[in-house]
Amino acid sequence: MMFNNRFNQDNTIHFVPCEWTCTDPDEGQFCRAISETEFEYIQIKDMQGKEHSKRMLDTLNDKTKITDWYQDEIDINDYDADQLGREVAPYGGILDGIKDTQYRNQLMAECIFENNLLCGDYDY
């Protein structure tokens, strides 16, 4: 999988804060839209609830190993309607009343990311 993060010359990871939205400050989770259906998610390991979102992203920029954070790119077009339904079901009515297509897609991608995290699908 090709990730769109950038590395500094000293091999530290550099994420541009203006490209990322904090989607869960308690978990250190951020999202970046790649397209209307593709989203990149990152979540810092062992940072839950310890920092504010700006400081968490600054901390992420200081990480030098991929093992310090989770990352995935999710394209909801890779899932059929039944699969998407199963992915969002644990989140109750999270999509109820959401009219904006891109935001709706982002929420579905976030559910997929979090479900993979909870199932231990990220082994790095």
Nearest in space to 26 (alpha carbons), one of 114, 122, 112: 114
18 vs 37, higher pLDDT:
37
Nearest in space to 3 (alpha carbons), one of 12, 13, 23, 37: 13
Average pLDDT, the chain: 79
Q: What is the pTM of this model?
A: 0.77
Reading the block at residue 41, the tokens are: 């998610």
62 vs 95, higher pLDDT:
95
For 37-76, the pLDDT digits (tens) are 999 998 877 765 555 555 666 666 665 566 677 888 999 9
Helices (H) and strands (E) counted in the chain, each on its own, are: 3, 6
- According to DSSP, the residues that pair with 85 across neighbouring strands are none
Reading the block at residue 28, the tokens are: 């250190």
Reported confidence tier of residue 26, pLDDT bands at 50, 70, 90: confident
